[in-house]
Structures are given as C-alpha cells and as structure tokens.
Structure 1
C-alpha cells in the first residue's frame, strides 16, 4: 500500500506532467515535455537522455541493478489533439481534480500509466535491471520508432517488454493483453484523366469510381479476403489460446451499445482477436457538394487497412496486393505493423497475473491479443519473445482521445501498486 506521503508525491508529479501539453500532431509542447520527463527520471536515479529520431524525440532511461534480467518499459508521452475544445468541462491541460477524478488530455492515454510505472520504480529495491523507452510519436503512428529501434537495438535489448497499459474493463477488472493484431494501411488511387469532364462523355470515358469498385470487390467479397495467400500463414489457435478465449465473458449487446452501432455482423465477439480483416476507412471522388454537378471524375481514392493475426506478414500481404492490382491503381503504403502474441505461460505473463490478483483482489481478464495495433512488432524484431500490455489507469469511461479525458485517482494509485508488485514478482520468477 502507498503511504499518504507517497500518494501526494505521485499526484504532484502526475499533475505536473499533465499540465505540459505534448500534442504530437502539431508538435505543441513536445520538446518541453520531453525535457520535463528526463529531469524527473534523473531525479529518480535513472540515467536518462533525450534522443533524436528524425521526428519527435524519445526519452531513454537505463538502470543497472546488477541482476541477470532486464525489463524494457515502453510508454509514450505524446497525446491526441484536444478538439473540440468547447466540449471540455475544464481546460484540457489544467489537470483539474473533481470528486477524486482528474480531467486532462493524456490522463488515461498515456501519462497516468507512465508516471505510475516510474513511481513504482522509485519504490523498487530489487536486482531487476530496467530500460525505459518513452516515445513522442505514438499518437501519429510511431512514425520513426522502428528506424530508431533498429539503429539502437544493442542498447535496447531486454528479456521482456511491458507496453502501454491495457487499463480496466467495465467491471473494474485489470486487463492483460498478450499481443496485438498486425496492420497494413494503404491508399489506392485510380486516375482516368487529368481533370473532371462533363458526364455527357460517360459513354466513351472510364469512370474511376466504377473502376475502383471493381478493384475493391475483387479484393474482398464481404466474407473473405481474396488476395492470393492471405490466409496461408495464419497461426492455428492452440490449446492455451483457446482456453483464454473460452473464458472471455463479454456480452455482445454491451459491445454493440458501447460502439453505438445498430447491429453487429456476428455475435462471436472472439473474432475480434482471431479473424484478419479488410476494412475501408474512407473514399473520396467526384462532386459531393450541395446540389448537382454532372461530371465524370478524374480520380477515385480509397484508404484501407488490413488487420492481421499472428504469423501473417504485412510485407507479404502488400506484395500480394500489388500483384493482385497490377497497374489498375496506384498504391501508397501508409503503415505496417507485425502481429505479436506472447505465450500465456511466459514469466512476464505469470508475473503480471499474480501481481494483478494481489492488488485488485480479482482475477484479471486475459486477452490473447488486442483487436487493434500498437508497436509491439518493433520489439519482437529485436528477438524479445515476452511482450505484454498491462498495468493501466483508464476504464471504458475515461474518454481517451475524446473531450473530458479522465482518470479516477484510486485507479492511478492502484496502477502504482500493480507495477511495484509486478517488478518484484517478475524478478522472483526469474531467479
């Protein structure tokens, strides 16, 4: 348990951190926040540096406690833009506390977790070695992280990685996520002319929208992705993962309501974690203004993402997509991430489960991989096999990425306790 003095110190640093804007999309406050973070880490006895990446800097820390095992702690100090500003109850960087709840951009995603882990480190007295990697571009897609990690892989090598926290579910249970889906994000553009033309020419000119529709229908038929080899490398669901999925007890109707959709495609919510997808994010073409304008557009563009499950390779999927489309459209790659899944029997997962039970007095919810993506793959490329996302401060009502982002301070203090217990448990299991 934290003493009252420890809580006051932790809250003071949390509030200071939240009051430093660090919006990666605009660059607002990024350098200043990185500098504050480095100074705080130095205050805690962490050998810290600010390192350039070609974009926003990372803050890197290292502590050698003389142990045989090294834990790499990943978080990000950047936050989403605050728009729409008029929907905020309090100024988004004021870090206002009301009824034991702090309101601020970044409170949940990801500054609360970052501070909680550092405060927990300050209490830790064992022999586990630490490396801290705090990124400034996660909210804009970790643009330079892969290149940075590859360039500095020798000083980033570790035995396990804990990613930004998964938080608590709607029932207040801590979530432990063992991996992520991979991602291939592309933009396809079909061009049929230098400019739009009068629609009277429709009998003799190609319409790029119809051509794009043909391409999209040839890629996905509403049930299956039709790219050659798309499903060939999918890792079979083993007994360990099957057992985790059987314990996943979420009501599909609760999910539907939380998403604000009228109907779900399936009641099999577990497909979120096991089924790869082909999704259209947006389409632009032609005239979409008020009234009518009779034209044949000159181009049509679509943004698409493929979410991938373990063993699918985004580079291989991209190659198949290029072969499939040939010269029918231009392809621009806008993002690639590898899927990752850590064994539930690994020491990092066992330590996370045991420590969560002690702190929350409840069994954690264990998910084989998230339905979304974060940059776990860059660490898997280092040869690190134990990577997990857990220890979080947020709940489904924390409004991450939205106005009035908030965290209950009791959840913040619990995250500190969880991180502290985890550090000790992970060290014990590796002796």
Structure 2
C-alpha cells in the first residue's frame, strides 16, 4: 500500500519525533515536542492547537470530512524516563536504525503508534471526520486529562486508544477495555521519632499495626472490603467465547515475566479484580543491626477493578476498614471500561486487521492494566477500543533499548488506513 517515497517520509517524521525528548516525569522537552507535533499535524491538514491543562499541554486537532461519523483518536506524546542510561545500546533519543529496527525512548510507547495513525490519516480520502487528542501526561497517570476532557467534551462516535501491539506470534491484538484502578498509600504513625526497642512493651509498633490493617483488607485469596465483589458485571456469552479462544503459553509467559512460578489461570488476568502491595517500608533497612521501634510505616497498594466496580465505592469501603488508624493518600482512581465485541468499531478493527496481516487478530475483553478509557466513557461514548500498535513483547517499552521493527511500523500505517475505511462504511 505504501510507496517507497511514502515510507521514507513516514520514517523521517518518526525519527524526528523520537529525537525530541518528552519526559513527563521531569518535564524535559515537553513543550518543544508539543510544538513539533502541532506543526506536523497542521502539515497534514489537521486544524491543531496546543491547549493547557494545568500541567503538560494537550495537542488537539480536528479534521471535518463532512461525514456522519466522527472518530476520536487518543494518543500521548510523553515518554518514560530513560534510566538506567548505561544499559542503552544507543543514546535514548538518537533514533538509530539497525537491522531493520529503530531504537529510541517512545519508539513503541507511544510515538510510533501516533506517527502511523497520522500518516494513515494523510492518505485517507473518505468522509470519516477525525478528532485527535494527544496528551502529555499519560506516563504520569493522566492527572489532568479528566478535567480537560470534562471541559472540552469532544463529541465522537468511537474512540481508538493508544494501541495494543502484536503478540509473540505476530498476531495483532485488539483490546476491548481496561481494568479500573484505585492506588493508595496507607501510612501508620505511632511516634514523632524512632524509639529504642527496649521500650517495645509499652509503645505501639507501626509495622504491626499496618500488618493488622492489611490483613483486614486482603487474606491472600479474596479482598475482604465490604461489597467489593457485589457489583461485578457478569461475563456475557460473547466475552466467555473470547476468553475460551485465548491460547497463551503459560510457561512462555512465566519466562517473559521473570517469575519463578505462576498461580491461577491466565483468564484471571482479564476478569478478576485484584489487591496488590506495590511497596512497603518502615524503620531501619541498612546493614547490620539497629534496635528501634520505628516511628511510622507505610504501604502502597493498587486495586485493579473490573467492569461495574466503582473505584469511589471501593475507596469508601477501604476507609471503613482503616478508620482513624492510618493516613490514606490517593494516587490514582480510574474507572473500568469494556466495549461490546459486537460494536461497529470492533467489527471494523477485526476486518481491517485480517486484511492487512492475513491472520485472525487476538481479541481480548480488556487489558490487565489501565488506560484512561473511562474519561471518554463518561462522555457517553460506548465504542472504545485499543488496537493498531507497533510494538511486540520484545520492544522493551519502558525499558532500555526500546525498539520497533520497521516492518511493524509500516504495517500499522496500513492497518490504520484500512480501519478508517472499514469504520466509515460499517
């Protein structure tokens, strides 16, 4: 589908984009990258603006082609930090090409995906209208996106999110939803300073107090918060059918994760809510001994939620358990979302994937992780899907030597182009 000249143009823009640092955690290069992106979108005929959010700006664009359908394309231009720098084969923002791969931070997540979609848009000649919403804070939790979307209220018939990639067998993945999230920190303070451990019989130890709270939240098998499982949406027959088709090799998955052993069934990743301790800290952790009763202890916890679970309700149930025994700080709260496999946007995505890859795509009810799909769901948009990615499990997203196979980048352009045509006609 792409001429050699078109491939060279797409690659040139991909390289330029990667050479602009845009680390949201530190702010490095954010404004410059947003400006570059706005200019590129305008070059393609998109009416683009840089819009403030209270944090890093959104690059927003529209192209009205006169049709009765509007597609909202969500992406992000920010990237993860590059540490550890000494593990990179090439400088993280050099965009070096070697053996058919391009190396650079953001190559897979998410700059390659965005460039592929924009190039596909430039080739599209139909009457599907577009809105592009490209944020600069996805890698730090999309902290200002909900308020921005609530103010902007972009209307659309469907949304495509930043894009699932290819699985280990080279099959395109189509993800119909995301798990929700509640991320909190619980801090127990029992003193204004560390105390000599000889006083242990008469003072409270914050670690033991924190452990008591954690045991009241989760018993290792089930979350014990009141009503936690009550609202879970039953799986439809269509969703059960999708899960039954999954053929993930558990041993291969175990090795790729670096886990010593796995528990449960692969389907639980997609349909079971979780309670996970991300980190726990207290007291003396240096070499040798130091006999103290610590002054405080804290744990960082994330709950992954499935459709119909409300992170606000889960938080209320958590507060009932914690009461006044710990300080509770919220770091993230996102709604779970799942699109019907019978939706027009899904059918168009499946048909276009088959056409480009000559393979049946892997359709997953929802990802095991979280994207900000919920902010668009709250606008009343019910057709939201994550697909048309450029990466594979070996692309090292978020890690040193992030890379993309150029063949997969060009395929993503073709897939986006075919999807635009399919969706405009379904």
Q: TM-score, normalised by structure 2?
A: 1.00
Q: CA deviation at 1:99?
A: 1.0
Q: CA deviation at 1:388?
A: 0.2
Contact 2:213-2:321 within 8 A present in 1 as well: no
Q: CA deviation at 1:336?
A: 0.3
* Distance (whole Å) between structure 2 residues aligned to residue 142 and residue 169 of structure 1: 26
Q: CA deviation at 1:101?
A: 0.6
* Distance (whole Å) between structure 1 residues aligned to residue 223 and residue 89 of structure 2: 44
* Distance (whole Å) between structure 1 residues aligned to residue 331 and residue 393 of structure 2: 29
Q: CA deviation at 1:100?
A: 1.2
2:17 aligns with 17
Q: Which runs of 5+ in 1 are unaligned?
A: none
2:223 aligns with 225
Q: CA deviation at 1:251?
A: 1.2
- 1:340-395 deviation line (CA, Å, top 9, x unaligned): 00000000000000000000000000000000001000010100000000001000
Deviating 4+ runs (over 2 angstroms): none
Q: Which runs of 5+ in 2 are unaligned?
A: none
* Distance (whole Å) between structure 2 residues aligned to residue 213 and residue 86 of structure 1: 38
Of residues 270, 273, 285, the one that matches 1:288 is: 285
Of residues 301, 321, 343, the one that matches 1:346 is: 343
Of residues 164, 168, 171, the one that matches 1:170 is: 168
Of residues 328, 333, 338, the one that matches 1:336 is: 333
1:399 aligns with 396
1:318 aligns with 315
* Distance (whole Å) between structure 2 residues aligned to residue 82 and residue 322 of structure 1: 37
- 1:226-275 deviation line (CA, Å, top 9, x unaligned): 00000000000110100000000001111111110111122x10100000
- 1:5-50 deviation line (CA, Å, top 9, x unaligned): 1101101110110111101111110000000000000000000000
Of residues 241, 263, 270, the one that matches 1:273 is: 270
2:374 aligns with 377
SS in 1 for 2:89: coil
The residue correspondences of 1:83-232 to structure 2 (distance < 5 A) are: 83-153=83-153, 156-232=154-230
* Distance (whole Å) between structure 2 residues aligned to residue 252 and residue 89 of structure 1: 30
2:53 aligns with 53
Q: CA deviation at 1:78?
A: 0.4
The number of equivalent residue pairs is: 426
SS in 1 for 2:277: strand
Q: CA deviation at 1:140?
A: 0.6
Contact 2:17-2:111 within 8 A present in 1 as well: yes
Q: TM-score, normalised by structure 1?
A: 0.98
* Distance (whole Å) between structure 2 residues aligned to residue 210 and residue 88 of structure 1: 42
